[in-house]
Amino acid sequence: MPKVTRKGQVTIPDQIRSILSIRVGDEVIFEIDEANVVLKKKSASIENLKKYVGFLAHLNGKKSNDIIDDLRGEADDFGP
């Protein structure tokens, strides 16, 4: 049975993480239901995606091959 650390942290057992499909970096929610606490995996929302809107706008109109070539640089950039 997991124990609470001095920082108030608890390890979620493998079986529970598997059932809820909780992966590293996922957010969870604790809800109080009468005298019980319910752990839920936070579902993705549009709010999570809004911070990325327009992030690649500077690439608008470029072809994917041109973008890849720009990222790779010139062949002689890597030496002989």
Distance CA 20, CA 42 (A): 10
Residue pLDDT tens, the chain, 80 long: 889 999 999 999 999 999 999 999 888 999 998 899 999 998 876 776 777 788 888 888 888 888 888 888 776 655 55
| Bridging pattern class, strands 36-41 and 28-33 | antiparallel
The 8-class DSSP code of residue 35 comes to T
Domain ranges across the chain:
46-78
Instruction: Give me the DSSP letters along 9-63.
Output: --PPPHHHHHHTT--TT--EEEEEETTEEEEEEPPP-HHHHHTTTTTTGGGTT--
